[in-house]
Structure 1
């Protein structure tokens, strides 16, 4: 079976460090030879590092990895270990005294699931995830940064009980004529997950009988003032098409629409949703193409929607 995950993009490696006993972990996405970065931030409460350099006007034109982690802001430390791993292999931005790997990152809030509050994703966990990275199909489910993820967190205190549902990490590929766009999603969502084709409930809040908590329950919960404080969907979308930074950021923005196809609701004030984009700096294979930015955006949104469904249904 062909690879239908993020690592189908040549040059990308993915590895996880998972602490099932602590309900947390981190994921390292490595691009040692450098990929062009882009960024979209559809959420209003992101937890991140080094995202400013991904903007088109910033000087650095390539990154060497992306760090995704649990642990809320504490988990940003995992990126230090990923940097160390890349530095030891000689990958990074050249400076007079060696190399500095460029590794932006973002986190989800899973502190409410962590059974040992003092044990959080750190540099050692990040280095372990980086050391495990490979071009094999991405392991999906309750692994890496998705270990403590949930969906339907809007209902985490519904009628005196936690009515949310376990989620995790998913990945998917969309392609056309050799043009590849793949996505990886860490699903820690406030809302429910629905089928992007017909709106059928897939995962999220359920009442005591197992029935889905739908639109009426969602609106009633949103009208209250006791919403969960931290909900985040982290996304990485990548393509084998060489792009500049402005084009790569446009890809991130277009691909982000795939989240709204699946999440009800999406991108509210307490959500930390972020979409990282990565574009190869290697030439396309001679047989691939043609392509336009609009084609990439459509493929990106499709890949993100499929990865979101996978994150909700494989945990």
Structure 2
């Protein structure tokens, strides 16, 4: 298979963003019109999600048509409704005899502290991103301060004055004909590190704002005096693969890929994070589940680092490229 740089180049997969840079929010839509086998893993303590129960292996629906990654906290779930309505207009979804019901799963990040807290992704934003996705010609998905990554930040345990801008990242890995790609909106409480070296990329800054500190060390130093932080964090991701998987196998891949958070975010899966990983498998290539899981984990950990490196300063917050 020719080299693939983005999930939009995986046959049967379409993706696009709706971005509101002024308000600091947006959504990212990943569509598989023919349906993809879905899985999910939710590990954070404060998720805002749609149709995750449906993805449990024992439930009857076998495929999903779209995954929506959105800003806006729980309000942003409205974007998924717009995606479903737009897919219905295209005749895409589960045939129920009297029409189709698109199967759309999604999750949201809390980005209300960026830009305008009263503006959140709407159903029209979801529909717009879906139209753009379906009209796509395989161009790589934009990254950084776009879509669900528009209002993402990291390193927030010291308050907004010590946080940093993050964004939406992507990576694609493959072996032979097997491809696994990952898209992620990095909005973590903790710090993002290079998964290969452990070197800090972005996160909590020192009090003078000139260098990186450590969220883990900050938490330990506060100990009993640790303030109860609002649930303003979450890293949400979608792994897309051309592997042929059953629902239980897709669930296992999601569980394995969730380890990427521990490899690239410190700390992760806290009570203030709603960390979620979706899987969409198009079924084109026979593959061993553990091989898919390893590729998915590698793609997601590199996508997380990409989300931190690709962001640009916004809303008064510096990005990784702004620090010496």
What TM-score range do you get, normalising by the shorter chain?
over 0.9
Residue equivalent to 1:149: 152
Superposed displacement of residue 229, structure 1: 2.0
Superposition map of 1:222-237 within 5 A: 223=224, 224-237=226-239
Give, in whole Å, the separation in 2 of the partners of 1:116 and 1:261.
Answer: 31
Question: What pairs with 1:1-315 in structure 2 (closer than 5 Å)?
Answer: 2-115=3-116, 117=118, 119-133=119-133, 134=136, 135-157=138-160, 162-207=161-206, 208-214=208-214, 215-221=216-222, 223=224, 224-281=226-283, 283-284=284-285, 291-315=287-311
Q: Distance between the aligned counterparts of 1:55 and 1:210, measured in 2?
A: 45
Give the match's secondary structure for 2:243.
coil
- Quote the Cα distance in structure 1 between the aligned partners of 2:231 and 2:73: 11
Q: Which moved more, 1:242-251 or 1:218-227?
A: 218-227
- The DSSP-based 3-state class of the residue aligned with 1:128 is helix
How does the TM-score come out when normalised to structure 1?
0.93
* 1:22-54 Cα shifts (integer Å, max 9, x gaps): 000111111111000001112121101111111
Match of 2:314 in 1: none
- Give the deviation of 1:7 after TM superposition: 2.2
Local SS of the residue matching 1:129:
helix
Instruction: Give the 3 Å change call, closer, same or farther, for CA 204–221 of structure 1 in structure 2.
Output: farther
Tell me the TM-score normalized by structure 2: 0.90
Query: Is the contact between residue 109 and residue 232 of structure 1 (CA under 8 Å) also seen in structure 2?
Result: yes
Q: Which runs of 5+ in 2 are unaligned?
A: 312-324
User: Could you tell me how far apart the structure 2 residues matched to 1:239 and 1:174 are?
Assistant: 10
Q: Report the aligned-residue RMSD.
A: 1.5
How many Å apart are 1:116 and its aligned residue?
A: 5.1
1:38–1:277 CA contact under 8 A, matched in 2 = yes
Report what 2:320 is aligned to. none
Write out per-residue CA displacement over residues 175-231 of structure 1, whole angstroms, 9 at most, x where no aligned residue: 111211110010000000111112111111112141111242242356502324221
Give SS of 1:240's match. strand
Structure-1 separation of matches of 2:174 and 2:88: 33
For the Cα contact (< 8 Å) 2:201–2:308, is it kept in 1?
A: yes
**Contact 1:54-1:245 within 8 A present in 2 as well:** yes
Check conservation: 1:221, 1:227, Cα contact below 8 A. Answer: no
Q: CA–CA distance in 1 between the matches of 2:6 and 2:105?
A: 21
> How far apart in 1 are the matches of 2:49 and 2:248?
20
Count of residue correspondences? 304
